[in-house]
Amino acid sequence: MILENLKKVYFVGVGGIGMSAIARYFNKLGIEIYGYDKVETMLTKKLVSEGMQIRYVEDVASIPANVDLVVYTPAIPDTHKELQYFRAEGFPLMKRAEVLGMVSRSRKTIAIAGTHGKTTTSSLLTFLLREGGIDCTAFLGGIVKDYGSNFVAGDSDWVVVEADEFDRSFLHLSPDLATILSMDADHLDIYGDVATIHEQGFKAFVDRLNEGGQLYVQADWKHQFEDRPATRFYGVDQGVYRSKNVRVENGYFVFDYENPERLLENMTFSMPGRHNIENATVAISIALELGVPESSIRRSLRSFGGIHRRFEFVYRGEDRTYIDDYAHHPSELKAAISAAKQLFAGKKVTGVFQPHLFSRTRDFAAGFAEALDELDEVILLEIYPARELPIEGVTSNIIFERMQNEHKKLIKKENLLAELERTELEILLTLGAGDISAEVDNIKNLIINN
């Protein structure tokens, strides 16, 4: 299919963060965009304001005529009425990942892969490149504050994409430059076990690098890629491309960066946490490789506005601070909690966590409990099911029972505001990838007015 010939595209699940980025890309090309999503959100409202037509009811009769292409996400169940209609009538259907693969093959592609860190790294890299004179296009997994969008249109040959391991989506990409940020166990409902994630997921993705393509791998995973020539290993205090001497100064994380040719001292980064320094390390390495000046990188690191729901400062007052984070894997929880405790040493850190998916809760209950135990106080909510049906015996209680933290509570989400109102808060973290995000403004107002 030649994407440039499209006139009308229909998205089933248009409100998803990855789907909406592609919808915005087509919209910029002047293609008519129609779509369905389950509920209206701030993002879908924004898409409508940009000229797209979106509905929230499964209604085959309302589908517009002469649709050239239907794009859908694996999160949409096969029982969806509109999806069944499109299949029965023989419409051209493509998964989101297939479309992104076709788009990326027409450009020089930088693909950011990893079980966590993709959105922060790809968003920061996009900012470094664009501020440094490389007008890249980007398809991102979050709303970048500097652009107010998850899609950035550029005129250069370069495109930055998140290489998503879910449903093996990243195997549709053929990148010129790629990273492996992490390969922790995740999406076991798709892969079955860790060995399969590594072999049929990430290593298969690396095999899709174009000839002469460059690969950066986080140094913890060096043993998996030692036999691959010219792989560049990076990290904090490890790897040939490294950051070191990490410290907190005046509320910012500061570090030195070095590679075989350069030493950049006293780099100040706007995003806190050792994990974000690691993400910045590979972003700096790629930016330098593509010719971005050191002075621009230094300036952009400090001014980067961050990403919605990635250690996002919702409120920062003299006596209380509220941070919202998308963390939904034990490693991500540990990173967010560690960053808060480093940045606000000596203050009480309270965390609200909403587990995401029954299968993930089942697979990582012990890891979630261990991570949450690092908080001074924990409020645990019920599981957000997303695309899944309940699994017998799997509730938030299997995390709660494993926790050693003496200051823990398990409550229903509808009781959260009342619980927070009677809690003495200093540093508050809300954590999770579910609909806890819908409570952020209410929590902010409670903190301001309480």
Residues forming CATH 3.40.1190.10 domain(s) in the chain: 107-303
Choose the CATH number for 3-95 among 3.40.50.300, 3.40.50.720, 3.40.190.170, 3.30.565.10.
Answer: 3.40.50.720
The Cα 12–Cα 73 span in angstroms is 7
List residues bridging with 388 in a β-sheet. none
Tell me the pLDDT tens digit for each residue of 282-313: 999 999 999 999 999 999 999 999 999 999 99
Q: How many helices (H) and strands (E) does the chain have?
A: 16, 21
Report in angstroms the alpha-carbon separations of 335 from 162, 310, 372.
20, 11, 11
Residues forming CATH 3.40.50.720 domain(s) in the chain: 3-95
User: Which tokens belong to 135?
Assistant: 């007008």
The Cα 230–Cα 227 span in angstroms is 9
As its CATH architecture, domain 107-303 has 3-Layer(aba) Sandwich (3.40)
The Cα 189–Cα 438 span in angstroms is 27
Contact, 236 vs 181, CB < 8 A?
Answer: no
The Cα 25–Cα 153 span in angstroms is 7
Q: Does domain 312-449 have CATH number 3.90.190.20?
A: yes
Report in angstroms the alpha-carbon separations of 69 from 65, 103, 251.
11, 14, 49
The Cα 201–Cα 272 span in angstroms is 30
**Residue type (1 letter), 234:** Y
List residues bridging with 379 in a β-sheet. 352, 409
Quote the pLDDT of residue 1.
62
Tokens 């986080």, residue?
Answer: 218
The Cα 184–Cα 207 span in angstroms is 19
**What is the SS3 assignment for 145?**
coil
Number of alpha carbons in the 13 Å side-chain half-sphere of residue 79: 1
**What is the SS3 assignment for 370?**
helix
Q: What is the mean pLDDT of each run of 10 residues along the chain (450 residues)?
A: 84 95 96 94 95 96 95 90 96 94 92 94 98 98 95 96 89 96 77 85 95 97 94 98 94 94 97 94 98 98 94 92 95 94 93 96 96 98 91 97 97 96 96 93 93
Quote the pLDDT of residue 187.
61
Q: What angle do CA 71, 143, 127 make, to 5 degrees?
A: 110
